[in-house]
């Protein structure tokens, strides 16, 4: 007979208190606190490159760009997550009573890891879609040349585009930025 291990369910308030005092980052999903794994060098390189492209392209425009350490609240599900890259229209909207948790992302990008790619495509994307301001989602594969783009056209309608050639150029729909895959994958050793 295998003993069942009980998983403690936390409130959002308990999570936020623990997160403030933690050296590690955690996501909060349906009352469960989940430790975020560290990224690979390629994961961090792609995140850094995308952040730099967005920062330069949107300089002087009414947007803020965040990478990895900015917490996002998904109000309808009461989830907290740390997207790899977020573009937020200014003024930034914060969760009521908080100074550290954003609620109005326009664009979110996740760099896919082997352990999280199914979650990023399915449950996490579904959660993000419940945020009214959210308009565009990028899933960037760190192991092979592939970017998936989901662009909102109207309520409950999204267009899917896929890019998998070094010469491809990705035109964002939420902000006026074009990204070359050659730039995004610069110095990345692709395995496939």
- Secondary-structure percent of the chain, ordered helix, strand, coil, rounded to 5: 20, 35, 45
Q: Is 102 exposed, middle or buried (0-12, 13-18, 19+ CB in 10 A)?
A: buried
Tokens of 64: 């803020």
Residue 192 — pLDDT band, cuts 50, 70, 90? Answer: low
Residue 18 — pLDDT band, cuts 50, 70, 90? Answer: confident
Residues 114-144: tens digit of each pLDDT: 888 999 999 999 999 999 999 999 999 999 9
User: What are the φ and ψ backbone dihedral angles of 26, each rounded to 5 degrees?
Assistant: -135, 145
Task: Give the three-state DSSP class for 80.
Answer: strand
| Long-range CB pairs of 101-104, under 8 A, 24+ apart, other chains included | 101/16, 101/71, 101/72, 101/73, 102/66, 102/70, 102/71, 102/72, 102/73, 103/72, 103/73, 103/75, 103/131, 103/133, 104/131, 104/133
Mean pLDDT score of the chain, rounded to an integer? 91
Residue 6 is predicted with a pLDDT of 55
Task: Say how far apart CA 125 and CA 120 lie, in whole Å.
Answer: 6
Q: Which of 22-26, 57-61, 67-71, 87-91 has the lowest mean pLDDT?
A: 22-26
Residue with the two structure tokens 């997550």: 81
What would the mean pLDDT of 30-38 be, rounded to a whole number?
78
- Cross-strand pairs, 34: 27
Say if residues 81 and 131 touch (Cβ distance below 8 Å). no
Residue 124 is predicted with a pLDDT of 94
CA–CA–CA angle 22, 25, 26 (5° rounding): 105
Task: Give the three-state DSSP class for 51.
Answer: helix
């Amino acid at each position: 007979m295998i003993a069942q291990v009980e998983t403690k369910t936390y409130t959002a308030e308990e999570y936020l208190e623990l997160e403030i005092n933690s050296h590690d980052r955690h996501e909060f999903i349906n009352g469960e606190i989940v430790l975020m794994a560290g990224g690979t060098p390629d994961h961090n390189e792609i995140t850094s490159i995308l952040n730099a492209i967005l920062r330069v392209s949107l300089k002087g425009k009414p947007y803020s760009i965040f990478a990895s350490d900015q917490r996002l609240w998904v109000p309808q599900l009461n989830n907290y997550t740390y997207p790899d890259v977020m573009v937020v229209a200014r003024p930034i909207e914060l969760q009521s009573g908080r100074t550290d948790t954003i609620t109005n992302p326009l664009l979110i990008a996740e760099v896919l890891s082997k352990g999280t790619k199914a979650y990023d495509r399915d449950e996490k994307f579904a959660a993000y879609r419940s945020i009214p301001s959210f308009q565009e989602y990028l899933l960037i594969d760190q192991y092979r040349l592939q970017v998936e783009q989901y662009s909102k056209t109207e309520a409950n309608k999204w267009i899917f585009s896929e890019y998998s050639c070094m010469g491809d150029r990705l035109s964002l729909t939420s902000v006026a930025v074009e990204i070359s895959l050659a730039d995004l994958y610069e110095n990345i050793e692709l395995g496939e």
